[in-house]
Chains A and B, each alone.
Chain A
Amino acid sequence: MSVQSTARPRGGARWLLAGHAWLVYAFFYIPIIVLFVYSFSGSRLVGQWEAPTLEWYREVFENDNIQRSVWVSVRVAFFSTIISTVLGTMSALALERFRWRGRRVFDALLYMPLIIPDVTMAVMMLVFFVQAFDIIDSIFGTQFLLGFNTILLSHIAFNISFVAIVVRARLASSDPTLEEAAADLYASRWQCFRRVTLPQIMPGVLAGALLALTVSLDDVVITSFVTGPGSTTLPVYVFGLIKRGLSPAINAVSVLMLVVSMALIFGSLLLQRVISRESSLD
């Protein structure tokens, strides 16, 4: 449903509005264009233009550290997205469709990772892992170290919230009597979920998964606290590079990350369009 405004801006107002829109776009996209252009600059100094070169892209592809961190990022993002999508969807279902003791408390706690500052969350995670590893060490004598697994666990932890919130919004707008109707038509709990609930909330689940993927690929603060030697994600590695001094290779990495993000977003838009076309008309 959309309310169509019959009032159209006229004269000066129209030009002002159009100008404002262009200004906003310029503000968003000029830095990207600059970044893109300079990633091909032949100069060693960031921001200086010399004859174009693909040198920096070559450097990125030949740099083992970058390769390794990309691989860590991809794996962390992939697994944390899958696991948090499942767990987040389950939390959303539990909160939206069932009544149980402690529901309110859990509900409030679920929003915590979104509210508390990243740094706080990062310190909490770090302290938690260190303490937990100490206890495990003293009881079982098994030693764990910070690294890939701790990054993965932290990403799952904060991603559950994102997924749960997105899925829950979708669940709240879908009719619970549909599930009752399915149960009345002999569907078991699982069939009910698979055949009726899931198709209803699928757009929410996909949106939640995409959000989780993006947040995971983006995260610097929390990851840099719980990371260990030998396993760093790409953003954390790039951040480290900047601290040591700028190199044009950073431009190239950034452009590549941008391209991947864009591909993800366009991919998801396309997927959503296909799904909604499938479910709306015959």
Chain B
Amino acid sequence: MGELTETPGRADDAEVPRPVESVRLESVTKRFDTVIAVDSVGLSIGEGEFFSLLGPSGCGKTTTLRMIAGLEFPTEGSIRIHGEEMGLRPPNKRPVNTVFQNYALFPHMSVAQNVSFGLEMRKVAKAERTQRVAQAIALVQLTGMENRKPAALSGGQQQRVALARALVNRPRVLLLDEPLGALDLKLRQEMQSELKALQQQVGLTFVYVTHDQEEALTMSDRIGVMNQGHLLQVGPPEEIYEQPLTRFVADFIGRTNLLDATVESAEIVCLANGDRLPAASGLPAGAKVSVSLRPERLAVRPRDSVSPDMLALEGEVDRVTYMGNAVVYGVKVGWMTIEVRQENEPGTVRHEVGDEVSVTWVPEAMSLVVA
């Protein structure tokens, strides 16, 4: 289990998985009048990495992205791209391109004109421009639609144009602000895998903003979870899911049961009902923590079948929800109801409301989080 102490505002070098650093934020703070949109965020994103910023609405994801793009300047802190300090450098002089949430396609230009805009601005020769535009349009599978205006395209097609318009410039860092937010579920899933494939194929660094935890988990190399301007935790999807550091992260990613507890010693925490659980926290005795238990890591058994190597809480089945591929139980354990998800495999014993049962888990299944 990881250390529970936070180190806000510092990019943690130990966590950089790639040798080359692409984007680096140091103690970046952005204030709008009285609102602190981004609060001393430190972050290091490696070259070729698919990095997601995940968090609820209004947590500062877009603001962070806009500061990297140069559309907004930090109130404090520094942003480096490929080691170069960005300072107050305007967006047109930064080696990044953005795919905007609403696509921001130029309505008075055709698909081809939209895509070639960046190249024209950088004075790329006509012949090379035509070729690269055709390539980019082919890459996003829009060949044949070059002369259409954005208004004559579907949402998914517009999204691809926005992507092609950014990719054609061969930026080393691509910033994407909820690029799939406006699409329906099916198209969204299709585009997710296309985007991921494209990112690997071209070898780009992606900084990807989303509030969809599933999207972040399936696509990213690493995820940064934000809330209220703070970057709470950075790590690979498995780590974020399995070892959340804070209550917020545990609760925001996936479903979980959070049991209030107090640290008793280096190895033991004490639950609200007095039960002691073995858990190393690295926190001083008396500290308030929560035990995070994912519903799918728990089991419901008859009380007499609990073996001594399991951790268990006794309770009574309060509700049973049949979900097809699984059964979800709500088990009342005195001070709270614990959610348990049982896969619907052949031969599993079903419990009924009112059954006296035990909720059990193995020690590795739980994680400690701070409030």
What residues make up the interface of A, taking CB atoms closer than 8 Å to B?
175, 177-178, 180-188, 191, 195-196, 199-200, 279-282
Contacts and interface: CB of A to CB of B under 8 A. Distances in A.
Interface of B: 69-71, 90-93, 96-98, 100, 102, 104-108, 110, 117-118, 121-122, 147-149, 151-152, 165-166, 169
Given A181-B98, A184-B96, 10 more contacts: A181-B100, A182-B117, A183-B70, A184-B98, A185-B97, A185-B117, A185-B166, A186-B92, A187-B117, A195-B117
Contacts, number: 67
A282 B147 contact: yes
A171 B151 CA distance: 19
A282 B104 contact: no
B237 to A, nearest CB: 28
A180 B100 CA distance: 9
B173 to A, nearest CB: 12
A93 to B, nearest CB: 17
Contact of A280 (B104, B106, B149): B149
A199 B151 CA distance: 16
B108 A191 contact: no
Nearest to A183: B91
A199 B110 contact: no
Contact of A183 (B90, B108, B165): B90
A244 B118 CA distance: 66
A186 B118 contact: yes
23 contacts: A177-B100, A178-B104, A178-B106, A178-B107, A180-B104, A181-B98, A181-B100, A181-B104, A182-B106, A182-B117, A183-B92, A184-B91, A185-B97, A185-B118, A185-B121, A186-B121, A188-B92, A191-B121, A196-B106, A279-B108, A281-B149, A282-B147, A282-B148
Nearest to A199: B108
B106 A184 contact: no
Contacts of B98: 181, 184
B148 A185 contact: no
Given A180-B91, A185-B169, A187-B121, A175 B104 contact: yes
A191 B152 CA distance: 26
Given A187-B92, A187-B121, A181 B147 contact: no
B92 A184 contact: yes
A176 to B, nearest CB: 9
Nearest to A278: B108
Contacts of B69: 184
B193 to A, nearest CB: 26
Nearest to B91: A183
The 7 closest A-B pairs by CB, nearest first: A185-B118, A181-B104, A186-B121, A183-B91, A177-B104, A186-B92, A199-B108
A195 B117 CA distance: 9
Contacts of B118: 185-186
Nearest to B98: A184
A30 to B, nearest CB: 43
Contacts of B93: 186
Contacts of A280: 149, 151
Nearest to B151: A280
Contacts of B92: 183-188
Contacts of B105: 181
B117 to A, nearest CB: 5
Contacts of B71: 180, 183-184
Chain A CB count within 10 A is highest, among B69, B91, B149, for: B91
A148 to B, nearest CB: 39
Contact of B149 (A177, A191, A282): A282
A274 to B, nearest CB: 14
B108 to A, nearest CB: 5
B102 A177 contact: yes
A191 B106 CA distance: 14
Contacts of A178: 104, 106-107
A187 B91 CA distance: 9
A188 B90 CA distance: 9
Contact of A181 (B106, B122, B148): B106
Contacts of A281: 149
Contacts of A181: 98, 100, 104-106
A189 to B, nearest CB: 8
